[in-house]
A = this chain, B = another copy of it.
Amino acid sequence: MEVVLQSSPFFRGVEYLAIFCCGMAGGLAAIRKGYDVFTIIITAWLTALGGGIIRDVLLGAVPPVGISDRVSVLTALLAGCTVAIIHPEVDRLKWSMLTIDALALGLFAVNGASKGLLYNTSGMTAVFLGTFTAMGGGMIRDILLNEVPMVIRDRHWYIMPAVIGSMLTVPVWRWRARGMISERVAMALDVAIVIVVVLLRLGSVRFDWQLPRAVPR
């Protein structure tokens, strides 16, 4: 579906939206710590594209998209600049940011898993790549700012929706590769997967769904 996702202007647009939103979320974290504009922009860029960089390094697709695709990079840098100016507004958008972040989670999971499959990895490897793409940026951001990464800290579902999204992407991609479904159906299914991820993530925050801890004794 990489091809499908990439070739469709709609999906390209949504992907850049995800990068932009991720970048804003990253920049905001740097702003809250009082860092300067340059650090804000770098943090925005790493948050938006770090996951894809990890994915590409693990796949051997170098140099990674995150430092070579002009539009992606400019989108991420623009997000950093934007948030440096309109941060009070962004800060107030708690639910919007959460939704946008969840959207990015889903899009990156589908995108990462598909790119893995395109490079002929096994389904399992593709699931890992999708998960890494979805979580990587936030992980790098939090490590840089010296916090326990949110993917670990967050009591709500964060990694799990990404894993589920990546898993669901594998059969869709295979059906399409074998010609069992048309491009249009594959695209619709990919959209559905993204929606599932978003709903799982938002539902978890809204209704305080939590995974069990280690068996207490």
Chain A interface residues (CB < 8 Å from chain B): 30-31, 34-40, 42-43, 53, 57-60, 62-64, 67-68, 70, 73, 83-85, 87-88, 116, 121-122, 124-125, 128-129, 139, 143-149, 151-152, 155, 157, 159-160, 210-215, 217
Q: What residues of B have a CB within 8 angstroms of the CB of A151 in the complex?
A: 39
**How long is the Cα–Cα vector from A210 to B62 in the complex, in angstroms?**
35
- By the criterion CB–CB under 8 Å, are B121 and A68 in contact? yes
- By the criterion CB–CB under 8 Å, are B143 and A84 in contact? no
**Which of B43, B64, B145, B213 is the one whose CB lies under 8 Å from A36?**
B213
Q: What residues of B have a CB within 8 angstroms of the CB of A64 in the complex?
A: 58
**How long is the Cα–Cα vector from A139 to B141 in the complex, in angstroms?**
12
Q: What residues of B have a CB within 8 angstroms of the CB of A215 in the complex?
A: 84-85, 87
* A83 closest partner in B (C-beta): B214
* A45 closest partner in B (C-beta): B128
**Which of B63, B128, B129, B145 is the one whose CB lies under 8 Å from A148?**
B145
The minimal Cβ–Cβ distance linking A149 to chain B, given in whole angstroms, is: 6
Q: What residues of B have a CB within 8 angstroms of the CB of A125 in the complex?
A: 63, 67-68
**How long is the Cα–Cα vector from A164 to B34 in the complex, in angstroms?**
23
Pairs A-B, 7 closest by C-beta atoms: A60-B62, A36-B211, A67-B128, A146-B148, A31-B214, A84-B214, A68-B125
